[in-house]
Amino acid sequence: MNYVSKAGVASLIAIFGLTAVGCDGDDGQDGATTRVVDLAPGPVCANGGVEFRVGFDSNRDGELSDEEITETKVVCNGEDGQDGTDGANGTSSLVNLTAEPAGGNCEAGGYRVDSGLDNGDGGGTAGNSLLEAGEVDATNYVCHGVDGFTVLTTLTAAAPANCPDGGQRLDIGLDNGDNSGISRDGTLQAGEIDSTGYICNGANGQDGTDGTNGSDGQTTLVKQDTPSITDCPYGGVTVTSGLDNGDGGGTANNAVLESGEVDYTHHVCNGDQGGGGTELVDSNGVVLGSVLGATPTEITLRTPDPYNYLVSIGWDGSFLDKFTIYSAAGCTGDARIYIDGTPNQSIPAKSAFWAGKEGQFMVPIGTDSIANQVLNYESFWEAGACTDSTGSEDLWAATLMSDTSIGLPATITPPLSLQ
């Protein structure tokens, strides 16, 4: 099954027996790499063309291998003129997406987006498929958020009221100075605690004496991940914890916190950075929303007040057709949201996913943070085609909403630009 992607590369931290742990954030994902391949005339492009292959150089060998490719885009040459001679070549529109260091344009770094025609302006060379300095007609920036605060955890003895037979208290929070604390001092103070959980010992024997000694318990593990945009719209950290006991089909005592072993999940999210952020507008100057992130293919944004829906839009103004599951055969009945099949996941109520067959957005039914549930299905829609297939899966019941209902214009006119 295809699915809506989740961001993040996990870093595992075992804290059994520790009293305080400060965790650095995970390294970000490498930037996108593009490989350009010439296409000979054939079934794909009658007059030849160029195929752009985009992906991430995961093994850092400086080349984009076939298995690293995540998306391809084909641009075909124009057809010959009607008199049998070649028609005049058009001028290509090019976009360069490059890393922008921290500085005046982006306080915490980000991406610089240059666009223009391959027309040789400013001393460049026309038609060489390179966007040269003199050919740049517009430059915009998609900036990272400013550095967040470190996530801290402390593991201390639990009070008898919480663990009658002893145990440990796990506190989690940001080193942000909340409630008269001191920010960035490496210590999780009382006012900075965002969440607390307890890991309690088993009870003693009922006759008042100590029960017989049991076998050694499993190590408590804590895992720190980058949350999805739906869990933390402005970034942050997802913290999961549990015993290394092999629950849910995992492997006990392997020092890896596997999905079935997770007993506790908490999202520590950054707050809204407020005004001054980058906005996405179409060619008519209509503001589509505040930019939260961007890739070479799409922009993630929050639609304007008072709507405030999370949605992704392609750079050409289109919506990417998401995997949609239906309650009845033939892709009929209720449309439902599928992400990756992991149970007990939650997404914000104002998350909008494009359902191509319906020509509308799927929005989860509920308020605040909504957890998925096991629902039956009889068909699914993927890549413009319907397939009948029955079963059950962890899904979100959804209602269909139009563009204007979530705060977007009925018509988006490309090209899009940032301001």
Read off the pLDDT of residues 325-349 as tens digits, 9 standing for 90 and up. 999 999 999 999 998 888 888 888 8
Tokens (6 digits) for 309: 């829906």
| Mean pLDDT confidence for 140-158 | 71
Unique residue bearing structure tokens 């593990």: 221
DSSP state of 254: S
pLDDT score of 397 more than 90: yes
Helix (H, G, I), strand (E, B) or coil at 257: coil
Phi, psi torsion values for 113, nearest 5 degrees: -110, 105
Per-residue pLDDT at 277: 62
**What mean pLDDT comes out for the span 396-417?**
93
Distance CA 183, CA 263 (A): 29
Contact 418, 277 (CB under 8 A): no
pLDDT at 396: 94
pLDDT tens, position by position, 256-276: 888 888 887 777 666 554 444
Higher confidence at residue 191 or residue 216?
191
Task: Give DSSP secondary structure letters for 48-99.
Answer: -EEEEEEEE-TT-SSS--GGGEEEEEEEEPPPPPTTSSPPPPPPPEEEEEEE
Distances (CA, A) of 14 to 69, 154, 169, 178, 200: 34, 12, 15, 26, 18
Domain ranges of the chain: 11-25+150-269, 279-418
- The mean per-residue pLDDT over the stretch 63-83 comes to 63
DSSP string, 287-328: EEEEEEEE-SSEEEEEPTTTT--EEEEETTS------EEEEE
Q: Considering the entire predicted model, what is its pTM?
A: 0.43
